[in-house]
Structure 1
Amino acid sequence: MTGGREPIGMTLSNGLRVLVAPWPGTPRVAVAVHYRVGFRNEPPGRQGFAHLFEHLMFRGSASLPDGRFFDHVYRLAGTANGTTHQDFTDYYQVLPSAALEQALFSEADRMRAPRFTAANLAEQLAGIEQEIRQAVVERPYGGFPWPLLPGVLYDTFANAHDGYGDVALLRRTTPDDCAEFFDAHYAPGNAVLTIAGDVDPDAARILVERHFGDIPARPVRPAPDLREPAPRADRWVVCGEPGVPATAVALGYRLPDPAGDLPGYLAHVVLARLLTRHGLARPYGPRLDASCGFFGMLAAKDPDTLVIATLPAPGVTPERLVAAVDERWDEWADPGRIAGPVAEAVRGLCAEHHRRHGDLEARCRALGRLEALFGRAGLLDELPGLLARVTPEQVARAARGLRAAHKAVLVMEPAGRRTRPGPAVPVAGTPAPAARRGAAERLGRAAVRPMPPAGPQRDPRLQGLCETVIANGLRVVAVRDARVPLVELRLRMPLGTPGWARPERVDALAAPDRVRASRSARAFGGEFDLSTDGQWLDASGYAPSGALDDWLGVLAGLLLAAEPAEPVPPPAWHDPDRVGDAALRRHWLGGSAGHDDDLAGLRRSVLDPAAACLVAVGDLDPEEFPAHAEKALLGWRAPDGPPRRPLTLHGTEDLLLVRRPGLAAARLTLCAVRPFDGPAEAARYLATAIFGGYARSRLVTRILGRDRVEYEAYAGRDVILDTHRAYVRALVPNALVPAALADIRAEMRRLAADPPGAAETAAARDHCLAQLLSAFDSPRLLADLICQAVSFGQGADWLERLPGLLRAVPPADVARAAVELYGTGRPGGVIVGDVDEALLASGADLRIVPLSSGPGRAAAMP
């Protein structure tokens, strides 16, 4: 059971359905409101209106006009967003639990009295037009498979039309049209309010009544009739797409109705997983992506769609690919042939469900969605058990059903110009204007109410923390977090001098191990990934709590292999940050870099337990976990030879230039080496936030103060080689690199001339204290951040101690730390982009060092 506790439900007198779901382990709270209206509720001529309306609901209400909805969210490092689906629209916030009443106030205010103005309409229409352009018009394979495939499979306007809509039609919308839509669909009786996290049900009930209880009840427009017959024949649509290298094919099948046949629906979920994992017999192409629903499992009412999408191999026609899918259905119609794969698929689906909904936001939204669509919020915690009961016979029956069913096939092939099918259903012209003129103005006249203050906030606590060093020198950290029956595991190892000098070789060595380990973990319902960013080699993943030793066994097999596997040529590095940091490491290492191709020696250098840390967070006994780790990793020993000595770095004040012709924007990193200093870390934490670590920081304020916001920048700190650095990263159009350099350096100089004072420090402290709480939103995130803290040099209890340290640090210490970290006169760093050295001539006091680099590789030394 995810969380092991049924949500508490109640219904207000105005019809609002309320769910309260306490979720121990987090000091934050999530609030979601699901309205039972989506793009399948749109009448002809109004396609795209539900999505437009979602955008408008953030632009103002009676008490929070002109975009002030986000004020409490940003101040407290929270998140807020909304999404539009076929049958619902959801709005959600995640905040410190002290801000629960503020979240409820803001949601109630826009449920009571949103403000719709011509100016807001114009602004949001421009934003939606850009969103459609990015998602569909300018994107290769735009509209594939959604929103094009529904128009092939379905006949009725509600099921078939494009939920993005027609911007030209939407531009005719008036504020009164919006008020009419609000009146028809956004009544309390058409909504579900969900509160999850650090919440007391009795206190929550009082707050809900206070803020939502006086919203008047009103009639709700009936839901559309979505029923339609299944297709009587296969349906094919072919369209052209310029500039793409291969044909794309998508298949759509009708799914069983989960409200009436949930076991049949879940059998199709398992079948889709089998197809994704096992694909088709060669040589039909790369893996297929198969899923139930365009937006996820149980995210729509009936009718919904099983979607298969792929790029066939060269020479494989769409017709042959579809025939191969039919052959797969024939093969899997025999339950005896799929018993093992079904069991593995079910284990994986159950574990993934637990992991996904071990996150506070995801759990809150899923509870509300299932209640809004099916009246069954409790289904969220029932699903792992229901999936576990799916049998090979049920999956085989689903395969036979799909083999006999008629389907939709969407083919998108390379062509000289873009072609798209017309609307599957004739669309009416301009819709009738709103019947009540002035409705929007009257709606926005509600009395203004004051935003309530935040309540008290408790500090986070780790439950059952154990930190120790086992016999081989490996640092082991274990934390109990029983919100879900999984254990998150992270092993982090520094690459060492040979690896830092040749990170692409480490990547090549890791590739075959990554594939084998991932396959082994899937067998017991876990996940195992092996990756390197040039600084660390990370083994990460999760296991069901009963399979913890199995995951450690996979890890041991990787670490204890007698010889390295034959390396696989790694993919080219395209991420500019990764390319730039690799160039910095090689440059700073200077003569220490070396060019040794001894793979066994490189492997031994990286796999050093004395330099590594292993973190486990989840449903485990933290006191017993180190013994399990020690038993599994008994044979993993430190390599022979002298201990690692501190590196001597060279050229740390050089500004490297890595030319990347064709790169649309340059990635600029300015940095300074600043070794770890435990007593000063709290002051440094706040100094980083003040300089460029949050929305009200100095860097962000300077950029927003320009005539146009033309680039973005932020500050941070991390580990590089065997030391630490403070950095600023910026994403800048190539031609603006000199201006961005000047901006950032001006702010660096201002730190000494105008140091942060008490008020600036207090604002940053409030933000940081609130942001820190997000570490506890899920076991997955908690494991990530504990691993990050430990590898940075902190103790595992850093997340617990930090709030007190931040409150105690004097502003004067923060001001000194800001100058020390970022007030350097001549920062070093790297620029990766299509930037000519002559363009940087204005920075005469900077030492520019141009580097050469092969395509996709870290820059070589000059």
Structure 2
Amino acid sequence: MTLPAPVAAGLDRFTLPNGLRVLLQHQPGIPRAAVSVHYGVGFRSEPPGREGFAHLFEHLMFRGSASLPGGRFYDHVHRLGSRANGTTHQDYTDYYQVAPAEALEQALFAEADRMRAPLFTEHHLAEQLAGVADEIHGATTDRPYGGLPWPLLPGVLFGRHANAHDGYGDPAALARTTIADCEEFFTAHYAPGNAVLTVVGAAEPDATRALIERHFGGIPARPHPLPPTLHEPLLTADRWARYQEPGVSATVLALGHRLPDPETDLPGYLAHAVLAALLNRHGAAALGLPSAAASCGFFGPLDARDPDPLVVTAVLPNGRSPEDVVGAITDRLRTWAEDPGLDDAVPRAARLMAVEHERAHGDIETRSRALGRLESLFGRAELLEEISGLIREVRTDQVADAARSLAQQPKAVLVIEPGARRTRPVPARPQPFRPSSTAAGGSAEGAGAFPRPGALPVPGPGGPLAPGRLPSRAVELAGGARAVAVADRRSPLVELRWRVPLGRAGWRSPAAARERLRAGARHTRAAARAEDFGGSFAIAADGEWIDVFGHAPAGRAVDWLRVLADLAPALGAEWSPLDRQGTPAPPRTPEEELDDRVRAELIEHAAVGAGTLIAVGALDPDTLVAQAADVLVPWTAEWEQSAPAPETARPPHAPYDGPPRELHTVDGTHVRLLLSVTERPVTGAADEAARFLATAAMGGFFGGRLAERFADRTVAGFEMYTGRDTVCGLPRAFLRGRVPADAVEEAWDGIRAEADRLAAEPFTEQELRPVRDFCAAQLLAAFDSPAARADLLRRTVSAGGDAELPLLLPGLLRAVAAEDVSRAAGRLFLPRAVPAAAH
């Protein structure tokens, strides 16, 4: 069958006269935009003699263009707390950015300028050749089992050069690359007609289209090579390759099976994807292996054109041969092909896969990249919206057929086993490059000369876009817990978070509390019950909080709340937290040890608050909070019920003016420093904005005062930063440092000097301007996805903040007066007589 016809997906699509395909998906109220550009060139576009070139070229594309030479591509990225990256795959290379709406035009201009006129210099080429060589060594020769499964398995499974060769290439061969080679590659493959531009988020269609036409429309069209010929016959017999690895004790293997072509048999392809999920879930236990994993494709499902493999990797226990394990995997597939138990397992696996797909693509960056990828590979961006439904439609008999097919199909087997010396395939002898044909029917050379246009004026930033308000409800539940529900319908799921203080007993023994929680989750089967309805349920406990994370399909949030409610009484004493399934607590890190010491001093003044419930997603806010009030009981752990509260304990968020605490601990050849200062409660949103900027300007921002003071000492191992959090329910500001053991006095002297400077030289508006821009823009990242929004609300509300604060704070950070920021910094960091630290 062929791929189904497009369905409406909220996409605006058009093609510029130069051939550039454009996808726009506007998400009203989202204050950031994800921009991605996919070029139809990847590892499999590399002819003999150019192995690894596509990846090298991806690195070079960040080194400058006519209007943005040197490192100026990142000007708008770093200034506004944004991010930009690129990746090379089998059949495409993608470049992507996420930036606030005010920088959307700058992001589009940066992509257009390097599509129009990249700059290649000998210096940047040498720099990137060294960087790529380090990356190759780090991924292959410098780590155990390097190259398994990729890039070694393709050479076993395939015979055609495009499919089989090592996409990393040989650093020695790549070192012969010239500037002329780079210019020729760009001219041939980086034509507008070989690219897809995608913008998701703050992308109002008419305005964004005008920007795209302005910056991309003038790039000349030119021919580009046709996609390489990839088809090759299936293996006629199993093909094995064995290599040795010194310094390891276990044998690992990777199996490669050919997948159906998703363009002609998408249901069969998805049935194999569900089968891979079953192997992930049940394979290791069923096969008696320490670990086993399966995936569709080397880089994920629907990430490449046909041919692509289903890959199974496994770690072998001592005493079992690769032949035995490969036979056991084949037998397992044969068993599944006839197993009536699949009637229960397949729908569950398909449901969880579909939900994970929906959840992942609620994020604007992930969505932008996926839309562009599917359009570039299959001409079907709309498939992104259809996949979850198609996965849910996968039938048991289809998965059984997939298992039967794999059991019968010859496969590739790559084995790496302990040995005296490392062995790997010998790199192919370099071959002369032969240009491929182009869409115009000529050679790649026919694409024309390398363009050398001049620089264009760089656009400035636009105005900031505030996050949009969504329907929401915030209430106080019985027992003082706070519940916040926000309707964000970017995915058909509800993100759920529950946070509650560990309490005095938990703060005294975080490890015991953590194990008790794990045992409670096992006792109530919390994770399995959530999976039954397509949700997830996970518990974490640091030294301060119990955190429960999860999600549920629309309409099933109340079932998730019931799972949560059942966990509270399970913390009683009728079962042992240290049962046979219990695992030893991991050792505390040096930072955690320092915080534990602070808690030991503050425990008698602890402020034990109630819980915080956050729900963001496809929900009705009034219904959700009513369900929470009905289902959740006051969460008071058994150890708190039995522990008398000391007279000095105070209600949550009450003021406590304790002395600052200066602590340190040895961490190998370095010393960890901690300055911990309890804060008075925040008096309002403007006060929070002042404290936020004060903390960043002192040391939480890469250009803060402490960062500048110790900038020339980073090579010596200096790390210093400031922040704010909660300890024993009390808000605090902190300064953390990690310095060489012989530089502790120098570090404290520098901290004293900055405290003195703050009194003598308050922050100026000029000094704060970049801090404002960075912090205000970075906060907007919390609106990239429902999950990120839920996490920010969890942190904000559990610390005593109003649920509206995340909407207000970006604007307040730009408006709060410099003198208020300086005053806040003085209260947080100035009155600190820091003594010399002794070991």
Both proteins in one fold, TM over 0.5: yes
- Asked if the contact 1:509/1:564 (under 8 Å) is kept, the reply is no
- Asked if the contact 1:114/1:443 (under 8 Å) is kept, the reply is no
The counterpart of 1:528, out of the listed 527, 537, 540, is: 537
Task: Report the AA paired with residue 549 of structure 1.
Answer: V
The match for 2:615 is 616
The match for 1:12 is 16
The counterpart of 2:231, out of the listed 227, 231, 245, is: 227
The counterpart of 1:701, out of the listed 680, 699, 708, is: 708
The counterpart of 2:103, out of the listed 77, 99, 103, is: 99
Task: Report the AA paired with residue 630 of structure 2.
Answer: K
Task: Report the AA paired with residue 846 of structure 1.
Answer: A
Post-superposition offset of 1:316: 2.8
Post-superposition offset of 1:169: 1.2
The match for 1:859 is none
The counterpart of 1:676, out of the listed 657, 678, 681, is: 681
Of 532-541 and 121-130, the range deviating more from structure 2: 121-130
- Asked if the contact 1:752/1:819 (under 8 Å) is kept, the reply is yes
The match for 1:512 is 519
Q: Using a 3 Å threshold, how does the CA distance of structure 1 residues 634 and 4 change in structure 2: closer, same or farther?
A: farther
Structure 2 residue matching 1:762: 3-state secondary structure: helix
- Asked if the contact 2:663/2:673 (under 8 Å) is kept, the reply is no
Post-superposition offset of 1:41: 0.9
1:409 aligns with 2:413: yes
Of 190-199 and 330-339, the range deviating more from structure 2: 330-339
The counterpart of 1:368, out of the listed 364, 369, 372, is: 372
- Asked if the contact 2:765/2:818 (under 8 Å) is kept, the reply is yes
Task: Report the AA paired with residue 428 of structure 1.
Answer: P
The match for 1:61 is 65
- Asked if the contact 1:576/1:667 (under 8 Å) is kept, the reply is no
Q: Using a 3 Å threshold, how does the CA distance of structure 1 residues 370 and 59 change in structure 2: closer, same or farther?
A: same
CA distance in 1, matches of 2:183, 2:404: 49
1:331 aligns with 2:330: no
The match for 2:596 is 583
Q: Using a 3 Å threshold, how does the CA distance of structure 1 residues 343 and 665 change in structure 2: closer, same or farther?
A: farther
The counterpart of 1:787, out of the listed 772, 794, 804, is: 794
CA distance in 2, matches of 1:120, 1:533: 44
- Asked if the contact 1:553/1:632 (under 8 Å) is kept, the reply is yes
- Asked if the contact 1:511/1:570 (under 8 Å) is kept, the reply is no
The match for 2:809 is 802
The match for 2:3 is none
- Asked if the contact 2:479/2:610 (under 8 Å) is kept, the reply is no
- Asked if the contact 1:175/1:440 (under 8 Å) is kept, the reply is no
CA distance in 1, matches of 2:18, 2:225: 16
The counterpart of 2:649, out of the listed 646, 650, 660, is: 646
Deviations 1:113-142 (A, max 9, x none): 000000001111122122223322322322
The match for 2:439 is none
CA distance in 2, matches of 1:24, 1:551: 29
Task: Report the AA paired with residue 622 of structure 2.
Answer: E
1:759 aligns with 2:766: yes
CA distance in 2, matches of 1:104, 1:718: 37
Task: Report the AA paired with residue 209 of structure 1.
Answer: E
- Asked if the contact 1:492/1:537 (under 8 Å) is kept, the reply is yes
Task: Report the AA paired with residue 664 of structure 2.
Answer: L
Give the TM-score, by structure 1 length: 0.88
Post-superposition offset of 1:476: 0.9
CA distance in 1, matches of 2:589, 2:128: 32
Structure 1 residue matching 2:735: 3-state secondary structure: strand
The counterpart of 2:119, out of the listed 101, 115, 124, is: 115
Of 238-247 and 49-58, the range deviating more from structure 2: 238-247
Task: Report the AA paired with residue 588 of structure 1.
Answer: E
Post-superposition offset of 1:616: 0.7
The match for 1:550 is 559
Q: Using a 3 Å threshold, how does the CA distance of structure 1 residues 364 and 740 change in structure 2: closer, same or farther?
A: farther
Of 207-216 and 610-619, the range deviating more from structure 2: 610-619
Post-superposition offset of 1:682: 1.3
Deviations 1:590-611 (A, max 9, x none): 8899xxxxxxxxxxx9xx8x62
CA distance in 2, matches of 1:580, 1:325: 45
| Structural mapping, 1:653-668, within 5 Å | 653-658=661-666, 663=668, 667-668=672-673
Task: Report the AA paired with residue 25 of structure 2.
Answer: A
- Asked if the contact 1:588/1:651 (under 8 Å) is kept, the reply is no
1:566 aligns with 2:577: yes
Task: Report the AA paired with residue 632 of structure 1.
Answer: V
Post-superposition offset of 1:649: 10
The match for 2:430 is 428
Mind listing any 5+ residue stretches in structure 1 that lack a counterpart?
594-604, 828-844, 851-862
Identical aligned residues as a percent: 51
Post-superposition offset of 1:280: 4.2
- Asked if the contact 2:679/2:731 (under 8 Å) is kept, the reply is yes
- Asked if the contact 1:674/1:725 (under 8 Å) is kept, the reply is yes
- Asked if the contact 1:28/1:774 (under 8 Å) is kept, the reply is yes
Q: Using a 3 Å threshold, how does the CA distance of structure 1 residues 636 and 765 change in structure 2: closer, same or farther?
A: closer
- Asked if the contact 2:693/2:771 (under 8 Å) is kept, the reply is yes
The match for 1:778 is 785
The counterpart of 1:154, out of the listed 150, 155, 158, is: 158
CA distance in 1, matches of 2:34, 2:811: 25
- Asked if the contact 2:112/2:215 (under 8 Å) is kept, the reply is yes
The match for 2:94 is 90
Task: Report the AA paired with residue 272 of structure 1.
Answer: A
Task: Report the AA paired with residue 815 of structure 1.
Answer: S
CA distance in 1, matches of 2:128, 2:752: 36
Structure 2 residue matching 1:81: 3-state secondary structure: strand
CA distance in 1, matches of 2:543, 2:798: 15
- Asked if the contact 1:25/1:481 (under 8 Å) is kept, the reply is no
1:470 aligns with 2:481: no
CA distance in 1, matches of 2:141, 2:630: 56
- Asked if the contact 1:24/1:483 (under 8 Å) is kept, the reply is no
Of 758-767 and 171-180, the range deviating more from structure 2: 758-767
Q: Using a 3 Å threshold, how does the CA distance of structure 1 residues 782 and 283 change in structure 2: closer, same or farther?
A: same
Of 211-220 and 758-767, the range deviating more from structure 2: 758-767
Post-superposition offset of 1:623: 1.1
| Structural mapping, 1:186-197, within 5 Å | 186-197=190-201
The match for 1:261 is 265
- Asked if the contact 1:16/1:188 (under 8 Å) is kept, the reply is yes
CA distance in 2, matches of 1:181, 1:735: 51
Give the TM-score, by structure 2 length: 0.91
Computed over aligned residues only, the root mean square deviation of the Cα atoms, in angstroms, reads 2.9
Q: Using a 3 Å threshold, how does the CA distance of structure 1 residues 171 and 711 change in structure 2: closer, same or farther?
A: farther
Structure 2 residue matching 1:458: 3-state secondary structure: coil
The match for 2:487 is 480
Post-superposition offset of 1:652: 5.1
Post-superposition offset of 1:572: 4.4
Task: Report the AA paired with residue 556 of structure 1.
Answer: A
Mind listing any 5+ residue stretches in structure 2 that lack a counterpart?
1-5, 437-442, 651-655
The match for 1:356 is 360
Q: Using a 3 Å threshold, how does the CA distance of structure 1 residues 452 and 12 change in structure 2: closer, same or farther?
A: same
The match for 1:819 is 826
The counterpart of 1:688, out of the listed 691, 695, 711, is: 695
Post-superposition offset of 1:534: 1.4
The match for 2:653 is none
The match for 2:440 is none
Task: Report the AA paired with residue 545 of structure 1.
Answer: A
Structure 2 residue matching 1:611: 3-state secondary structure: coil
CA distance in 2, matches of 1:577, 1:611: 29
The match for 1:720 is 727
Post-superposition offset of 1:239: 1.9
- Asked if the contact 1:177/1:433 (under 8 Å) is kept, the reply is no
The match for 1:633 is 632
Structure 1 residue matching 2:475: 3-state secondary structure: strand
CA distance in 2, matches of 1:136, 1:731: 31
The match for 1:291 is 295
Task: Report the AA paired with residue 630 of structure 1.
Answer: A
Q: Using a 3 Å threshold, how does the CA distance of structure 1 residues 587 and 474 change in structure 2: closer, same or farther?
A: closer
